[in-house]
Chains A and B, each alone.
Chain A
Amino acid sequence: MTDTGTRPATALGKDTGATAAALALGDDALILSHRLGEWAGNAPVLEEEVALANIALDLLGQARVLLSLAGDEDELAFLRDERAFRNLQLVEQPNGDFAHTIVRQLFFSFYQHELYGELARAEGPFAPLAAKAVKETAYHRDHAEQWTLRLGDGTQESRARIRTALDALWKYTGEMFEPVEGLEDLDWAALQGRWLAAVGGVLERAGLTAPEGPRSGAWAAGAGRQGLHTEPFGRLLAEMQHLHRSHPGASW
């Protein structure tokens, strides 16, 4: 199913680097969108439910554009196996409690905002998408920031929960700045520097500090870009792909 040799020509033509980048960024958006969709009906209040669904819809829109650049969006989303997905391990992590979801959003939305800002400035196949998406990621970033401030500076309980989440997810953040295949020209080190400063600033205002643990190297997590994923990801895919695999070739 995932034999790239038989896939029809993509919108990116023979540019295999750009195709790889579209897959990586598209998979990030698709998988995080699915995770946020799991909050539907379960958010702390109705208003927050709408906000999370809004973000999920934005991400799904980005995923559709990016995956369509790489091939057939439905085929790519529903018929690839775990090893063929190129998303970051961060975005596949389970929702956990609300603080856990917010920290995942904080880490990812600040990353995505910096990255799409770069892509919008660069003249490449992703510039039109990035120029549109950067407005969305600015909102996602603001949402995560507002909640980080409130949880960090809230009650003892909310503070303890957000600290636990920071510690649990910190080890996945190094992977975000491993150069993506096809986007090697970007200054990933500078991107990482800006991300650390921005996220660090939010944490400081929330009365929190960045965890001490390693973000890269032997003790850090993250090989999603190589198709190596964490255990919860298989269950996510099983749920997401179930219907499509049961009725292959149907139109919806």
Chain B
Amino acid sequence: MTQNWPLWEVFVRSRRGLSHTHAGSLHAPDAEMALRNARDLYTRRGEGISIWVVPSTGITASSPDERDPFFAPSADKPYRHPTFYDIPEGVSHL
């Protein structure tokens, strides 16, 4: 089944939404059916929305094993972050 029904990732933009958000995944034999299944599973046929489907094999993800070289440089270089300001008194939601 996984051969004939590959996995697809679904991105949905709601009617008032600004961008497509990953909604979930599903199995479908091809892109057309994936779109239709996504409509049933993730949008309940609400009108005025946009759906993207992408075969999971088409997505390249960053690897959890390489997390440190990938993301750490920014964490240990504090001068990259605006953390050296005194917050004025009375400002509670900065």
Chain A residues in the interface with B (C-beta under 8 A): 45-48, 50-51, 54, 139, 142-143, 146, 150
Whether B37 is near chain A, meaning CB under 8 Å from some CB there, is yes
CA distance A45 to B8 in the complex (A): 14
The answer to whether A45 and B27 touch across the interface, beta carbons within 8 angstroms, is yes
The answer to whether B33 and A50 touch across the interface, beta carbons within 8 angstroms, is no
**Chain B residues, CB < 8 A from A146:** 32-33, 36
The answer to whether A150 and B40 touch across the interface, beta carbons within 8 angstroms, is no
**Chain B residues, CB < 8 A from A46:** 27
**Chain B residues, CB < 8 A from A139:** 45
CA distance A46 to B32 in the complex (A): 17
Would you list 22 pairs from A and B whose C-beta atoms are within 8 A, ordered by A residue?
A45-B1, A45-B5, A45-B27, A46-B27, A47-B27, A47-B28, A47-B33, A47-B37, A47-B40, A50-B37, A50-B40, A50-B41, A51-B36, A51-B40, A54-B40, A139-B45, A143-B36, A146-B32, A146-B33, A146-B36, A150-B29, A150-B33
CA distance A51 to B28 in the complex (A): 12
**Chain A residues, CB < 8 A from B27:** 45-47
CA distance A146 to B26 in the complex (A): 18
CA distance A139 to B40 in the complex (A): 11
Task: Return A131 CB to nearest CB of chain B, in Å.
Answer: 15
Task: Return B74 CB to nearest CB of chain A, in Å.
Answer: 40
**Chain B residues, CB < 8 A from A45:** 1, 5, 27
> 4 shortest A-B CB distances, which residue pairs?
A47-B37, A50-B40, A51-B40, A54-B40
**Chain B residues, CB < 8 A from A47:** 26-28, 33, 37, 40-41
Closest to A50 in B: B40
| Cβ contacts B1-34/A at 8 Å (1 or 0 each) | 1000100000000000000000000111100110
> With A45-B5, A146-B32 given, can you name 17 additional A-B contacts, CB distance below 8 Å?
A45-B1, A47-B28, A47-B37, A47-B40, A47-B41, A48-B37, A50-B37, A50-B40, A50-B41, A51-B37, A51-B40, A54-B40, A54-B45, A139-B45, A142-B36, A146-B36, A150-B33
